[in-house]
Amino acid sequence: MRKLGKNQESILRALVENRRWHAIGFGCGWIWSTPRETERLLDTLVKRGLAKRVLENGALVYRPTDAGKAHVEAAKATRLAAREASL
């Protein structure tokens, strides 16, 4: 799999931390630039299997997949190892 871009990494981390994302009109509380840009970035994560789109109460909701959660955990471990190695 190709490496994720900086924005993709950041939005995946936010998705995992918040457990879901849905449109502002439904009161989610966080966006990346604009609601449309957020959806565009999330759709790239869906294509990679790191997020999924589901309908909940008639609203489109994005949730992290197990692979997305594992990716965030692996990236965190890599950052911590790099930080410890530089000390």
What pLDDT score was predicted for residue 26? 53
pLDDT at 35: 84
Q: Which fold has domain 6-85?
A: Arc Repressor Mutant, subunit A (1.10.10)
The predicted structure's pLDDT at residue 56: 86
Phi first, then psi: give them for residue 71, nearest 5 degrees.
Answer: -60, -45
| Residue 34 half-sphere exposure toward CB, CA atoms < 13 A | 3
Q: Give the global pTM.
A: 0.85
| 78 has a pLDDT exceeding 90 | no
For the stretch 35-40, contacts whose Cβ atoms lie closer than 8 Å and that sit 24 or more positions apart, written own/partner, are 38/11
Q: How high is the pLDDT of residue 63?
A: 95
pLDDT number for residue 27:
55
pLDDT average, residue stretch 70-84 = 88
Q: What is the pLDDT of residues 12-61, one digit of tens each?
A: 999 999 999 987 665 566 788 888 889 999 999 999 999 999 998 888 89
